């Protein structure tokens, strides 16, 4: 079945440091890939997405490129801020062949802590 593997956290960085959170996936067919962010006590917010190979999703300084050859979708940001502290989830969505619809399969999440 479909699965997503993320690097374990917590990841602790100083403000303005470079961020990489690794994500690899296993899926049949050609899934869409997403990064969601969850701030403490809140639900999930879509951060960025990519729907086909070599697509680059970007938002709020974060970016990730859909790499089909390495089945990866690593999240990067050039200069993190304290306000970026949250849990980041990599997810994939593959169209369900029978019955239609789609579902998200999530990784276990990576907690990011940014310190001054």
E strand or H helix that includes residue 36: strand 32-38
The reply on whether position 52 binds other proteins by CB under 8 A is no
Q: Is 40 in the site for other proteins (CB under 8 A)?
A: no
53 binds other proteins (CB under 8 A): no
Using the rule CB under 8 A, is 26 a contact of other proteins?
Answer: no
CB of 1 to other proteins, least distance (A): 10
Three-class secondary structure assignment of 17-76: CCEEECEEEECCCCCEEEEEEECCCCCEEEEEEECCCCCEEEECCEEEECECCCCECCEE
Phi, psi torsion values for 87, nearest 5 degrees: -105, 130
The answer to whether 6 and 108 have CB atoms below 8 angstroms apart is yes
Q: Which of 28, 40, 43, 116 binds other proteins (CB under 8 A)?
A: 43
Closer residue to other proteins in complex, CB, 80/92: 92
**Residue 41 contacts residue 52 (beta carbons within 8 Å):** no
Q: Is 59 a binder of other proteins (CB under 8 A)?
A: no
Instruction: Indicate whether 109 belongs to the interface with other proteins (CB under 8 A).
Output: yes
Positions in the binding site for other proteins (CB under 8 A): 4, 31-32, 34, 36, 42-46, 49, 51, 89, 91, 93-96, 99-109
């Amino acid at each position: 079945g479909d699965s997503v593997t993320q690097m374990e956290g917590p990841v602790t960085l100083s403000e303005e440091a470079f961020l990489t959170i690794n994500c690899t996936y296993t899926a049949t067919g050609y899934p869409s890939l997403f990064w969601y962010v969850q701030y403490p006590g809140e639900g999930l917010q879509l951060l960025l997405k990519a729907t086909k190979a070599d697509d680059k999703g970007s938002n709020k300084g974060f970016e990730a490129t859909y790499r089909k050859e390495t089945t990866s979708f690593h999240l990067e940001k050039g200069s993190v801020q304290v306000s970026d502290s949250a849990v980041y989830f990599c997810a994939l969505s593959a169209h369900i062949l029978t019955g239609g619809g789609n579902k998200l399969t999530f990784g276990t999440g990576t907690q990011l802590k940014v310190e001054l």
